[in-house]
Structure 1
Amino acid sequence: MGYEWLALAAAFLWALSSVISVTPAKHLGSFAYSRWRMGCASIILASMALITGGWSTVTLPSISAMVISGLIGIFIGDTALFSCLNRMGPRQAGLLFSCHAVFSAVLGYFLFSEHMTTLELLGASLVFAGVVLAIFFGRKGQQNNQLETINGSTWVGIALGLLAALCQALGGIIAKPTMLTDIDPVAASAMRMMSAFIAHSLLLLTGARIAKATHAINRNVFLLTAFNAFLAMAVGMTLILYALQEGNVGMVALLSSTTPIMLLPILWIYTKRCPNRYAWFGASLAVIGSAILVQ
């Protein structure tokens, strides 16, 4: 499987997990939810790397790179994303998070001298245009949809979403050189998750109010959180690291930014309300752009 399909598979898993996240994220709060989610993902990934022997590929320089990548991309980025999701819902948070593709492409150009062909630029432009159209105009006619309701300040939500996108891009940039070595992507992903989980745990130990759960965790919330951790973090994030081994940062980011488009049919099934024509037109543009990129 080429890196393009790996990035698209990760985007689908992130779309599915964002809907699953709505209930537990609101129940626990963004910090507590991220902590539980990262804890579950750390156990899953560390166990997988132990079984497959992936830990033997880890070197001292790779540890420091993955720890920094995890702190920026997951500890800060993931927590900001769920804070945004609690305020703006999964679809609108998805648009803001998809901006990590732009950040990644710019950073990749300056740091790694990555470039795209004319055809790839056309495909990338269609993907991004489709994402923007589907989200910005896709809210029309959905005013009574609970998942479209904005809670609190819109500008704070936008700032959180863009912060999550920037941190995701920086996390990928930092991980890229290490992923070009022989390191096992599962072990690399496990180190990123564990560093983020440790940072969250230390924050909780300080007694910081924001780190405490809004409500006590229960069995259903834990199961949803663990399942989400497996889909989005254990599988999705690992697929991205595999993709980074073969593809450039900007291209991987652009393909993984199709998450908001993939959310449309998932939200239709979940809410039983069909997205409007703008959402579908945007989805069509993104599909065409993705087809150009993965040909």
Structure 2
Amino acid sequence: MLLLAPVAALLASAGWATGIVLAQRPARALGAFEFTRVQLVSCFGILAVICTVLGLWQSVDWGFWPAFVVSTAIGIFAGNLAMIACLRRGGPRRTELMLALKAPIIGAMAFVWLGEIPHLSDLLGAAVALAGIALAILFGTDARSKRDTLEGSLLVVIMLGLLATGCMALGFLVLKPALQAGLDPLAASAVRLGGAALIISVIGLWPSAIFRSEAEMTPSLLAQTILPGFIGYVLSSSLLLFALAHFDAGIATVLASLSPILVIAIVGLRDRLIPPWPAIVGAALAVLGSAIIVLA
């Protein structure tokens, strides 16, 4: 189980990296609100069917309802709206840089709230991995990549990124006691998505232009919207929740924050550009740090 937890966190990284690259185009086409609404409603439907077929609803202890509310309203609804807005304005590289801060934020929260104290080797590995992530993101995309452009103010991108990171960190960590009490990660994701889908659907009834789609929905655009949502909300979030239940929260999140390295590789392959050497060095450091955590 100790080995499965870090592996699950690493797989979550791979999922988020793929999802965030796939999400950029439909997010810019639909707008943050409509993009998020379609993803939440569709992914909740998928997870509800999975949990019903597998009988996972029985693991839900509604005595933890305050944690479910916080995780839903803050972690998913507020956090993902801020993340999509950050992605639309700053592109995948800058968004991933901000989301990488989730690891130290969760680590600090876990220390204060849950009293978790990671081993020295884990702290060393986390520091090396985070340094590699920062180096890779800061210098990881060639200026010729036309799909990693900044739209608007960098300060706005930073503020949106910090808001998204803080909300998501709290949304995941607040569920750890419920997960340790036996809550299945898939059922946890379903509860979170169901609540968030309800909130955003009710808000979407308000007759305001800000809640309307910025493009006409087509079958192709719908599929492009649902796919990254399934990868991120259903697969990666459930994998991270599993890792949080069986591993130190801060260290598990470091391993789940390696997606920027993979984003750089995916963007490079997509745009047929070789990453700059600092990105390669950063990737090597991230791998080294992860190895220290997993093997120590």
The residue aligned with 1:154 is 154
Q: Distance in 2 between matches of 1:254 and 1:210?
A: 35
The residue aligned with 1:262 is 262
The residue aligned with 1:227 is 227
Q: Assess if the C-alpha contact under 8 Å between 1:63 and 1:191 holds in 2.
A: no
Out of 104, 113, 116, the residue aligned to residue 115 of structure 2 is 113
Letter of the aligned partner of 2:118 in structure 1? Answer: M
Q: Distance in 1 between matches of 2:211 and 2:177?
A: 32
Q: Distance in 2 between matches of 1:57 and 1:290?
A: 31
Letter of the aligned partner of 1:202 in structure 2? Answer: V
Q: Distance in 2 between matches of 1:24 and 1:266?
A: 17
Between stretches 203-212 and 237-246, larger displacement belongs to 203-212
The residue aligned with 1:253 is 253
Q: Distance in 2 between matches of 1:208 and 1:8?
A: 40
Q: Indicate yes or no: 2:214 matched with 1:194.
A: no
Q: Distance in 2 between matches of 1:64 and 1:214?
A: 35
Provide the secondary structure at the position in 2 that maps to 1:281. helix
The CA RMSD measured in Å over matched residues stands at 1.2
Q: Distance in 2 between matches of 1:232 and 1:96?
A: 17
Give CA deviations for 1:165-224 in whole Å, capped at 9, x if unaligned.
101111112111111111221111101011111111121112233222111211111111
Question: How far apart are 1:148 and its partner, in Å?
Answer: 2.0
Q: Indicate yes or no: 2:104 matched with 1:102.
A: yes
Q: Indicate yes or no: 2:65 matched with 1:59.
A: no
Question: How far apart are 1:9 and its partner, in Å?
Answer: 0.3
Alignment of 1:266-277 (within 5 A): 266-277=266-277
Q: Distance in 2 between matches of 1:198 and 1:292?
A: 42
Provide the secondary structure at the position in 1 that maps to 2:255. helix
Q: Distance in 2 between matches of 1:226 and 1:12?
A: 17
Q: Distance in 2 between matches of 1:34 and 1:248?
A: 30
Identity %: 33
Q: Indicate yes or no: 2:10 matched with 1:25.
A: no
Alignment of 1:5-44 (within 5 A): 5-44=7-46
Alignment of 1:118-137 (within 5 A): 118-137=120-139
Q: Indicate yes or no: 2:206 matched with 1:206.
A: yes
Letter of the aligned partner of 2:178 in structure 1? Answer: T
Question: How far apart are 1:143 and its partner, in Å?
Answer: 2.4
Provide the secondary structure at the position in 2 that maps to 1:147. coil
The residue aligned with 1:167 is 167
Out of 81, 92, 95, the residue aligned to residue 94 of structure 2 is 92
Question: How far apart are 1:275 and its partner, in Å?
Answer: 1.1
Letter of the aligned partner of 2:227 in structure 1? Answer: F
Q: Assess if the C-alpha contact under 8 Å between 2:137 and 2:264 holds in 1.
A: no
Between stretches 208-217 and 51-60, larger displacement belongs to 208-217
Letter of the aligned partner of 1:269 in structure 2? Answer: L
Q: Assess if the C-alpha contact under 8 Å between 2:106 and 2:250 holds in 1.
A: yes
Letter of the aligned partner of 1:216 in structure 2? Answer: E
The residue aligned with 2:215 is 215
Q: Distance in 1 between matches of 2:144 and 2:133?
A: 22
Specify every segment of 5 or more residues in structure 2 that has no aligned partner in the other structure, as ranges: none
Q: TM-score, normalised by structure 2?
A: 0.96
Give CA deviations for 1:237-257 in whole Å, capped at 9, x if unaligned.
111111121012111111111
Specify every segment of 5 or more residues in structure 1 that has no aligned partner in the other structure, as ranges: none
Letter of the aligned partner of 2:253 in structure 1? Answer: A
Question: How far apart are 1:235 and its partner, in Å?
Answer: 0.8
